[in-house]
Structure 1
Amino acid sequence: MKVIGLDVGRHSVKAYTDDKCAMFPAIIGTYRPLKLEYQRTPDDMEVEHIGKRYYVGNIANESRDGRRNFMATKAIDDTRILGLVAISRLAAHEEPVHLVIGHPITNHVPDEKERMKRLMLGATRY
Structure 2
Amino acid sequence: MNKLILGIDAGNHMAKVVGPHGIDIFRTNICDWFEREVEESFGEDDMEFEISGRKGFAGTIAMFEDEFGNGSMYGDTKAHEDNKIRVLLAINRYLDKYCPNVGTLSIVTGQPIKRHKEEEKKIIQQMLIGQHEVKVNGKIRSFYIDNVGVAPEGSAAYWAKPATGLTRILDIGSGTVNAATIMDNRHINNASTTFNFGMETVKDKNDMTTIARGIIRNTTKLKWNKTDKVLICGGIAEGIAPAIIEHYSNGEIINPTIKSGNGVKVLVPVYANAVGYYEIAKGAFA
TM > 0.5 fold call? yes
CA contact (8 A) 2:77 2:111 kept: no
- Residue of structure 2 in register with 1:88 after alignment: 92
1:97-126 deviations in Å (ceiling 9; x for gaps): 01111222222211111111111126xxxx
* Alpha-carbon distance in structure 1 between the residues aligned to 2:67 and 2:52: 20
* Alpha-carbon distance in structure 2 between the residues aligned to 1:107 and 1:7: 16
| 2:80 pairs with 1:72 | no
Cα offset, 1:95, TM superposition: 2.4
Unaligned runs of 5+ in 2: 131-286
* Alpha-carbon distance in structure 2 between the residues aligned to 1:70 and 1:52: 19
One-letter code of the match for 1:28? I
* Alpha-carbon distance in structure 1 between the residues aligned to 2:25 and 2:103: 21
Unaligned runs of 5+ in 1: none
Cα offset, 1:37, TM superposition: 4.1
1:32-64 deviations in Å (ceiling 9; x for gaps): 122334233211111111333210012113033
Deviates more, 1:43-52 or 1:62-71: 62-71
1:20-35 equivalent positions in 2, closer than 5 A: 20-35=22-37
- Residue of structure 1 in register with 2:38 after alignment: 36
Stretches of 4+ aligned residues off by more than 6 angstroms: none
Quote the RMSD (CA, aligned, Å).
1.8
* Alpha-carbon distance in structure 1 between the residues aligned to 2:52 and 2:122: 22
Q: TM-score, normalised by structure 2?
A: 0.40
Deviates more, 1:52-61 or 1:32-41: 32-41
Identity %: 29
Say which one has the larger Rg.
Answer: 2
* Alpha-carbon distance in structure 1 between the residues aligned to 2:54 and 2:122: 26
* Alpha-carbon distance in structure 1 between the residues aligned to 2:104 and 2:41: 35
CA contact (8 A) 1:15 1:23 kept: yes
CA contact (8 A) 2:8 2:18 kept: yes
Q: Greater strand percent: which structure? A: 2
